[in-house]
Structure 1
């Protein structure tokens, strides 16, 4: 009896993209219980909710000063995109931007990054992709919902140092748990191999 090739719902181009994906069917990397996961998320959410609801401190000045971008950017109000956006066909490389990886289901800002080419940033290797796979896997294992997305603030300075200064201020302000600067602060469980 001859072998038959299973038909695919994907066209050839889409199937090639899937075959090249860095997202693989990986075994669970983290032995994290449901209660531990929900408690960890609750701690992050409590902190970030306070950041969202705290009024911005304004210094009275004789001269009008422009507020710092890190004080005015709210990642949750930016247009939401799929985390696989980098697979789409773009006519350009994009612009200098800050980007935010968010679990919209739980309203958690997980990662803050910066790029000079917003349409190409996640092509190839990026450690945050692995953290997201681990995060999704933990949610799947415990039948918990997550809705991962990415949002871009496309008004970042083209110069690298000023852009990185804003990124650093946002990482500190929001304490995004997937940024290495905050791993110890949160005891982030998703960053292992």
Structure 2
């Protein structure tokens, strides 16, 4: 029998309903719980969106020997693309990139970064298998069932180091600053239920 790991420290059993079809096949997360989970992430990320990294103790965020990067970089300024962008006949972005999967919380106008990744090839990274795609699908399904609107997008930052080692170092510093809930390094911080459903 599968071990159920549903982050019950945050999600009480009263708020999770299971169908008889089997464990984790049809999980319902209460709207109030989803909104509380989103609010915790907003509380952390909103000051960073508003002031960049200057006022949040991230002075060394952009250490790079090869590229001078803007210390007040804000991913909200990047062009949002639908998650299905990779199906378009012409690639919007190509080459090395750091990318951000985001959701705009409709009723508050706030944005949350759900995932940060890096790639050597922006036009190809999202085409294949990717854990984050499963988490996003689970997140979208849970929000839909709870009647919570999602406005998901992916944004590519192309002004990043071309060397993989430096780009990955930058990615890790961004993850440490924003603490996106779908990155493996930060899932435990937010007790993310959408990742538990598919593990």
TM-score range, shorter chain: 0.7 to 0.9
- Tell me the equivalent position of 1:46: 43
**Structure 1: distance between partners of 2:141 and 2:82:** 17
Higher helix proportion: 1
Instruction: Give the superposition deviation at 1:94.
Output: 1.4
Q: 1:34 to 1:99 in 2, by over 3 A?
A: same
- Tell me the equivalent position of 1:130: 134
Instruction: Give the superposition deviation at 1:72.
Output: 2.8
**Structure 1: distance between partners of 2:112 and 2:144:** 17
Instruction: Give the superposition deviation at 1:169.
Output: 0.5
Instruction: Give the superposition deviation at 1:80.
Output: 0.7
SS in 2 for 1:81: coil
Instruction: Give the superposition deviation at 1:31.
Output: 3.4
Matched, 1:81 2:77: no
Q: 1:34 to 1:77 in 2, by over 3 A?
A: same
Gaps of 5+ in 2: 1-23, 60-65
- Tell me the equivalent position of 2:3: none
Instruction: Give the superposition deviation at 1:71.
Output: 3.6
- The alignment's TM-score, normalised by the length of structure 1, stands at 0.75
- The alignment's TM-score, normalised by the length of structure 2, stands at 0.73
Once the two structures are overlaid, the 10-residue window that deviates more, 45-54 or 78-87, is: 45-54
8 Å Cα contact 2:118/2:171 also seen in 1: yes
Superposed counterparts of 1:4-83, under 5 Å: 29-54=26-51, 56-57=54-55, 69=69, 71-83=71-83
8 Å Cα contact 1:95/1:154 also seen in 2: yes
- Largest Rg, 1 or 2: 1
**Structure 2: distance between partners of 1:32 and 1:182:** 20
Residues 123-153 of structure 1: CA deviation (Å, up to 9, x unaligned): 1111111111111111111111110000000
- Tell me the equivalent position of 1:6: none
8 Å Cα contact 2:51/2:72 also seen in 1: no
